[in-house]
Amino acid sequence: MFVVNRASTATSWTSLVLWLSFCFSGTYAAATAGLVPRVDLRSVLTNQKWSADTTISFAGSPEFYNVTERWTTFSAPTYSAAISPATEDDVAKIVKLAKSHKIPFLATGGRHGYTTTLGDLHDGLAIDLSGFKSLHVDATAQTVTVGPGIRVGDIFEPLYKAGFDLQTGSSSCPSLIGVTLGGGVGRYQGVYGLITDALVSVRLVTAKGDIIEVSKKSHSDLFWGIRGAGANFGIILSATYKVHPLTDGGDVFTVEYIIPAEKSSTYFKTIESMSPLPAELASIMLINSNSTTNKTQVQAQWTYKGREDKARKALAPILDLGLDTTRMANVPWNELVVSAFGNIMDSICRANITRDLYSWNMKNYSASTYSASFAKMDNYFAKYPGARSSILQFEFFPNQAMAAVPRDETAFPWRDTTGYINFNMLFDDRDDATQNASIALGLELRGDLVATSGYPELTVFVNYAHGDETLEQIYGKDKLGRLAKLKKAWDPDHMFSFNNGLPTRYP
């Protein structure tokens, strides 16, 4: 989860001009970091009385590193101090202090976000929420309530043992609440909808430092906004979700392949012919470089939520290709994400690595575009060996349940999306040639694939946003008017605006 603070004071005519220009351009929040007055964070924090288990650390100490280490070091925020609150009241107190002293901050659960807008935070305060690890399953109400320190992977075993499942993303390491605030896409969205569609209520610290309950019955307009644009409105202290009783014993049928270059074109055409996918069937495809052979390949995983006989019927076009499988099995729901692609989560979740990502939505599948992208990735890997850990990832996720939710029900704008593409660039940050080539290819691939995506222009799921997109491309033009009014009502001083921040007026 990422929630942020930016407050500013126009201290000169130049500052005032900057303030006005950014305010009217709709990106006021992005300008304010440089205008924040400096304060002595050490003095502000240590002169307060905190609960016994709340800890404070400062740049340069091992404790500070442990609570600020990030998944990616690319365009990362920087901090002078960090605080790990132990109680909800301490979180509220921190927000009030930050407001009164104009301290920019970022509150995080998993520190997994990667939008480059986070890098606008300089020498701020890190609010580490990783200690809020409460998790309670209410079997009678069929709900689970979690704190912001709970990562996606933390819920699998407790829910499975209690006889439930919940739609989740495709990675185990981000904060579950953080994923939820942007909407939360994943393999089960065809059956259950988005993760945010399962949200029942949250406890939230507002920009004033008040702790409130937010649900359909309490602050319903804010509840609408946090489901799709939630990083803009406060710090979530806990969230309650509706869970689902296990079906078919909780088993998921899964099959995985490594597909060589010479068979990739046929495979892409088969995927295109299968659209739209059944609600229960989802796939993740990777175009990457084989670390042993240094040849470009396709890795693919297909999952079917249901019995094997139904899965084989839905998967017949793929199974009939006669490809060599690396795995074909019924997998318990709680093991699906962490066991994908031979336990690839171990490398995906590794922290403190330079990663840069470009992402975009699609609702049409295009075999010819995928083949062209494969050729470009092949050339990229051959020319830049330092980029061979990079991956072009396709998430083919059906959208039946997601699309069945009325579009005005939540702030999430892209319910007609049936797939998400991520170009995950990994390179040594000292290798300028590879970095420049990676960024250039990312922009080129994004342009190519958006052209056949079924959308007239770039659209992106906010949790996947790179940070260079327009507000309309992230939040949807028809949502922005209502979101801006909410921002003005709940965060007029842009306390929470580093994560693809919203304006307080639109247009």
Whether 312 and 451 share a structural domain: yes
pLDDT of residue 9: 31
pLDDT of residue 353: 94
User: pLDDT tens-digit profile of 362-421?
Assistant: 999 999 999 999 999 999 999 999 999 999 999 999 999 999 999 999 999 999 999 999
Percent of the chain with pLDDT over 70: 93
Beta-carbon contacts of residue 306 (< 8 Å; ≥ 6 apart): 247, 248, 253, 280
pLDDT of residue 17: 29
- Of the residues 197, 213, 247, the one at which a domain ends: 247
**Cβ atoms of residues 258 and 324 within 8 Å:** yes
Whether 164 is in a domain gets the answer yes
User: pLDDT tens-digit profile of 182-202?
Assistant: 999 999 999 999 999 999 999
- Of the residues 193, 217, 247, the one at which a domain ends: 247
CATH at residue 295? 3.40.462.20
Whether 123 and 194 share a structural domain: no
Whether 399 and 296 share a structural domain: yes
CATH at residue 160? 3.30.465.10
Whether 504 is in a domain gets the answer no
Whether 380 is in a domain gets the answer yes
Print the domain residue range for 240. 135-247
Whether 471 is in a domain gets the answer no
Whether 330 and 455 share a structural domain: yes
User: pLDDT tens-digit profile of 286-299?
Assistant: 999 999 999 999 99
User: pLDDT tens-digit profile of 323-363?
Assistant: 999 999 999 999 999 999 988 888 899 999 999 999 999 99
Distance CA(446)–CA(466), nearest Å, equals 11
Whether 474 is in a domain gets the answer no
Whether 420 is in a domain gets the answer yes
Whether 139 is in a domain gets the answer yes
Whether 117 and 170 share a structural domain: no
Whether 346 and 210 share a structural domain: no
User: pLDDT tens-digit profile of 15-61?
Assistant: 322 332 333 333 333 334 344 546 899 999 999 999 999 999 999 99
Whether 203 and 263 share a structural domain: no
Whether 190 and 259 share a structural domain: no
Q: What is the 3-state secondary structure (H, E, C) of 8-77?
A: CCCCCHHHHHHHHHHHHHCCHHHHHHHHCCCCCHHHHHHCCCCCCCCEEEECCCHHHHHHHCCCECCCCC
Q: How confident is the model at residue 4 (pLDDT cuts 50, 70, 90)?
A: very low
User: pLDDT tens-digit profile of 222-233?
Assistant: 999 999 999 999
Whether 497 is in a domain gets the answer no
Whole-structure pTM over 0.75, yes or no? yes
Whether 264 and 381 share a structural domain: yes
- Of the residues 226, 247, 268, the one at which a domain ends: 247
Number of domains in the chain: 3
Whether 330 and 452 share a structural domain: yes
pLDDT of residue 346: 87
User: pLDDT tens-digit profile of 94-127?
Assistant: 999 999 999 999 999 999 999 999 999 999 999 9
Strands 251-260, 296-304: pairing is: antiparallel
How distant, in Å, are the alpha carbons of 2, 98, 165, 293, 373 from that of 288? 29, 44, 31, 12, 11
CATH at residue 41? 3.30.43.10
Whether 372 and 425 share a structural domain: yes
Distance CA(266)–CA(269), nearest Å, equals 5
Whether 337 and 229 share a structural domain: no
